[in-house]
Amino acid sequence: MQHLIKQIPSSIKLFFHSLTQMIFGTSFRSIYLTILVLPLAFNHCDPKQVNLQEHLVSLGSSEKLSLNHKRFNDSLSIISSVPQLTEIELNYDAIQTIPEEWGNLKRLKKISLYGNQLKELPTSFQNFQDLEILLLGMNPLEKIPHSIQGLPKLKILSLDETKLQLTEEDVKILASLPSLEILDLSENSSLTKIPENISELNFLKSILLKKNKLNEDERKKIFAALPKVHLSK
């Protein structure tokens, strides 16, 4: 069956759907689309064991490393031996920690680590001065990592389906990101209250808040504090 897509919301993730194609109609439009995740390789497949070192050798001069739904025989630290990388996608790979050595990859512009088991990030993330997109959704993060504080070019930060409560300290870290435009906090069951200093994020373009447990008073608070920010509810 074919489904004609005419309009979609600000984010859509189709990790485990049996998609074979997507057809966008001539009337298709999305004013606020910022995150579109369609990793078709996740469909109906078991995690595959990968010799990471061999794969890195096969990259040659490629600037992108994409290994989704895999298990690795090697330490992730050897990825730091490929200095030309500008993009890393390691989604659903059961990763528990990111090695400090990644801090040597100073050309990185995008990091996607969806669906792993990360609770924190290494301090070396502060080296990613060119990083523009950081996707950390579906990890058991309880707070925003201090190591991303002050990243000058970060535009999109995805923290959906985490354990984030969003404290005042979290807001301070977010407010230190001068280029941040899009913040995804959707589907966080631990997010029940909005911190008093939320107005510090009035420079953002959009915050995704779908399927959280914010009551009506908390929603009114964030709308009042951020009148110019598009809030997806």
Which domains, and CATH codes, for the chain? 1-43 (no CATH), 44-232 (3.80.10.10)
Contact in structure between 221 and 194 (CB atoms under 8 Å)? yes
User: Span 208-233, mean pLDDT?
Assistant: 93
pLDDT in tens, 121-173: 999 999 999 999 999 999 999 999 999 999 999 999 999 999 999 999 999 99
Q: How confident is the model at residue 73, as a pLDDT? A: 86
DSSP assigned state of 61 = T
Please compute, for residue 208, the number of CA atoms within 13 A of its CA located in the half-sphere on the CB side: 24
**CA nearest to 9, candidates 36, 39, 32:** 32
Beta-sheet pairing, 70-72 with 87-89: unpaired
- Quote the CA–CA distance of 113 and 59 in Å, as a whole number: 19
- Quote the CA–CA distance of 147 and 161 in Å, as a whole number: 20
Contact in structure between 166 and 143 (CB atoms under 8 Å)? no
Q: Is the dihedral of CA 61, 65, 66, 68 positive or negative?
A: positive
User: Span 105-128, mean pLDDT?
Assistant: 98
Contact in structure between 127 and 151 (CB atoms under 8 Å)? no
Helices (runs of H) and strands (runs of E) counted in the chain: 3, 14
40: pLDDT confidence band, cut at 50, 70 and 90?
Answer: very low
Give the type of residue at 86: T
